[in-house]
Chains A and B, each alone.
Chain A
Amino acid sequence: MNEAEIPASQRIIGILWPSFLTAAAATVVFFALFDPVELLAYTDFADSSRVGVYTVGFFLFWLLTTTSSTLTSYFQRPTRTPG
């Protein structure tokens, strides 16, 4: 099937959604193992609230997984047109 036929909206969902799920899982595991208060105790962010750090952490994970998904999607394009 021709890649170009996939509507952009579905491509975007196909990138954002799986990365959302993996980022959520990663956030849960990461913050179950590490307490943000201890992690940031000696940094400039020492007085951030935990929920704030969780949220920022989640979005950083999401950024990471989205980048990876986007690259996968990008590299899946055919390198040359067949024929």
Chain B
Amino acid sequence: MERLAASYRLDYDVRARDYVSGGEVSSALRAILKQLSLPPDLVRRCCVACYEAEMNIIIHSFGGHMSIEIFPDRLEMIAQDSGPGIEDLQKAMQEGYSTASEEAREMGFGAGMGLPNIKANTDYFDIQTGKEGTTLTMKVLFLKKEGE
């Protein structure tokens, strides 16, 4: 039975190389999710996926946008940037693979665990990438149906 339910949206522009603001989106998301009666581990999974997607825009892209929508039964998150895209997607999904710049590595990024972590912490994960940009679509389900 489908009923019109409330949802809550968060929209954030994320700037390239803005390491100082890195983590602001996931912090805001955390503050929101803590006001819902969700199991702590779900909150953690949402925040990890959000943080890694946010940092990838900062570290690897020309800048982009995160939009998050929270429904009573799920979280949907889209991280979109305007390029340059992921050259080798298969490699990018491997644990430990990273093309992070020297500058980013010096700041402690570039462990190559971001995309694998996003995949591990979400229930649905899709990635579209090309020269014009990369789009990640992620979902975390709050209520799992029997057998899932």
Do these two chains interact? Answer: no
